[in-house]
Amino acid sequence: MSNLSMPSADGSAVELPARSGVKPHERRRFIWMVLITITAVYFLILVGGTVRATGAGMGCPDWPLCFGQFVPPTQESQLPPDWRVRYADRGYDTADFDPVKTWTEYLNRLVGATIGLLAILTVLAARPFRREQPVVFWSSLGGLLFIAFNGWLGSMVVASNLRPVMISAHMVGAFLVQMCFIYAVVRAAGPQALLAQRITSPQAGQTTQQSPTLRELPSWFRSLVLATLAALTLQIFLGIQIRESVDLISRIATDLTRDQWIEAIPWIFEVHRSFSWVLLGLCLYLMFRVYQSPFRRTRAGLMAALLVGFTAFEMALGGALNHLGFPLIAQPVHLLTAHLMFGLLWFLYAVVSPSFSKAQSKNSKTMDLQHV
């Protein structure tokens, strides 16, 4: 039976020992399927952020149809004759029909439906793991269920006429989806692929692969990752409160222009801005500790470096929102970057989690034989 090949942190191929329960091509197929699904989830987050930033959330005032049609109209003459009366409680008693906003929201729904199909395919691809690694299958199924739940929340967002708390719950659902799929791919790929590094011997001039064990990290490293993840979660919670404030200001303070919104946000904005420096410090220290360990040339090292880069970029976007008059393009990118940071930290925690450490210990003999 052939081994499963997976690229390492430096781009070289890492051979994963074949396991009796899951065939190499089944493991490879699942890994690629779940990575495609995760990428699609992040794309949907960007699209959803664009919907909110452009005010297109009520572009389709009903769900799952749009103005009672499967395909949205492109001009007002295609709307039902009584559309203003029918959708008066959604703001259309006075609002004009905007085909751009309508199709922006409709495309958001199409992407969401596509992700639902991808999640179903991911669960089907995870079926071979049910006996050997049931956590992979159940994590994938959890991701699918959270996608379905988040789709229902999306309908509630429309039904509530964009009630801020429903929008926030809808966004939290996206975090739960990525947590499930990231954990599934970490467990499916296994420690040898995720922690492999290439070592070149100066004497022999040969390159070999070896995987440092989690025991080589300080005992408190897992706590550091968890503390950084908790700090990011708090920062995201503060950001959610600011977003709800902005939504309220944009609705009530109609006399304010977009660049004046930031001045009307309460004190929580100052806390959010200052706490970003704490988060950056934690990420820098985390990267420093990873680069001081044998994990610097593994995916863990790559993810730690990306985390610092994304954190700095997120702070720059926050500065743009603060000093450049709340530019529209910065809002969805700011949201996406926060999700990417969370995904990277969750990946690191999944790798250093006790369950992953046990999996590495279980396969240590096989890995040692592989490197002889």
Per residue in 206-224, pLDDT tens?
Answer: 554 555 556 666 677 888 8
pLDDT at 6: 52
Q: Read off the amino acid at residue 31.
A: I
188 DSSP β-pair partners: none
Q: Are 150 and 52 in contact (CB under 8 A)?
A: no
pTM of the model: 0.82
Q: Which residue has the tokens 């070289």?
A: 12
CA gap 121, 115 in Å, rounded:
10
pLDDT at 233: 92
- Cβ atoms within 10 A of the Cβ of 176, count? 15
CA gap 350, 370 in Å, rounded:
24
Give the pLDDT confidence of 95-117 residue by residue, as tens digits.
Answer: 788 899 999 999 999 999 999 99
Show the low-confidence residues of the chain (pLDDT under 70).
Answer: 1-20, 191-193, 195-218, 250-251, 253-260, 354-372
SS3 letters across the chain: CCCEEEECCCCCEEEECCCCCCCHHHHHHHHHHHHHHHHHHHHHHHHHHHHHHCCCCCCCCCCCCECCECCCCCCHHHCCCCHHHHCHHHCCCCCCCCHHHHHHHHHHHHHHHHHHHHHHHHHHHCHHHCCCCHHHHHHHHHHHHHHHHHHHHHHHHHHCCCCHHHHHHHHHHHHHHHHHHHHHHHHHHCHHHHCCEEEECCCCCCEEEECCCHHHCCCCHHHHHHHHHHHHHHHHHHHHHHHHHHHHHHHHCCCCCHHHHHHHCCCHHHHHHHHHHHHHHHHHHHHHHHHCCHHHHCHHHHHHHHHHHHHHHHHHHHHHHHHCCCCCCHHHHHHHHHHHHHHHHHHHHHHHCHHHHHHHHHCHHHHHHHCC
pLDDT at 135: 93
pLDDT at 18: 46
pLDDT at 60: 86
